[in-house]
């Protein structure tokens, strides 16, 4: 299955926080932009907050970036909103038969390959920073 759209939504939110940094970005306002429910936004922002990427103001309302856009890369965002722990992009089939030559060794063999593939993907995400996203976004609008 696909990687959760929380990731896309998270990037959307962060980009919006940067672009609209003058305004007050309440979950309802953001929800209007993303076109979803405010609670969905608050959930994602909660994850981003735990990861130290955004600050929120309970009571007063609104969220803001906790770092410069240049210092936030997509791998951090990915990790923040991803439920599965790192190294488990590919599911292993559990309890292979230890009496079987393949079963005894497949896990370790696959682990190496899977980790390599996963890292390759993550490295690409790590290369991209939020300010590049925003730049691309604004440029695309002209």
Partner DNA sequence: ATCACCTGTAACCATTGTAGTTACAATTGT
Partner DNA sequence: ACAATTGTAACTACAATGGTTACAGGTGAT
Q: How far is the CB of 99 from a copy of itself (least distance, A)?
A: 8
Token pair recorded at residue 109 = 């063999």
120 binds a copy of itself (CB under 8 A): yes
Are 27 and 45 in contact, with CB atoms under 8 Å apart?
yes
Q: Helix, strand or coil for residue 55? A: strand
Partner that binds at residue 63, options a copy of itself, DNA, ligand FES, none, CB closer than 5 to 8 Å by kind:
DNA
Site string for DNA, 3-42 (x = CB under 7 A): -xxx-----------------xxxxx-------xxxxx-x
DSSP state of 85: P
Containing 56, the helix (H) or strand (E) segment is strand 54-56
> Cα–Cα distance between 46 and 3 in angstroms, integer?
19
Considering beta carbons, is residue 51 or 126 the nearer one to a copy of itself?
126
How many residues sit close enough to a copy of itself to count as binding (CB under 8 A)? 58
Residue 129, strand partner residues: 73
Are 48 and 81 in contact, with CB atoms under 8 Å apart?
yes
Q: Which residues bind a copy of itself (CB under 8 A)?
A: 1-5, 7-9, 11-12, 15-16, 19, 32-36, 74, 83-84, 88-93, 95-97, 100-106, 108-110, 112-113, 116-118, 120-125, 128, 133, 136-138, 140-141
């Amino acid at each position: 299955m696909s990687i959760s759209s929380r990731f896309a939504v998270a990037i959307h939110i962060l980009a919006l926080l940067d672009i609209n940094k003058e305004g007050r970005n309440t979950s309802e306002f953001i929800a209007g932009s993303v076109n979803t429910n405010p609670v969905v936004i608050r959930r994602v922002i909660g994850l981003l907050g735990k990861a130290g990427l955004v600050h929120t103001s309970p009571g007063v309302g609104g969220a803001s970036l906790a770092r410069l856009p240049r210092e936030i890369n997509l791998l951090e965002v990915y990790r923040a909103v991803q439920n599965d722990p790192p190294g488990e992009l590919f599911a292993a089939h559990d309890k292979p038969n230890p009496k079987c030559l393949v079963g005894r060794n497949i896990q370790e063999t696959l682990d190496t390959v899977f980790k390599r593939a996963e890292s390759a993907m993550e490295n690409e995400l790590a290369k991209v920073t939020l300010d590049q996203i925003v730049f691309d976004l604004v440029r695309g609008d002209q």
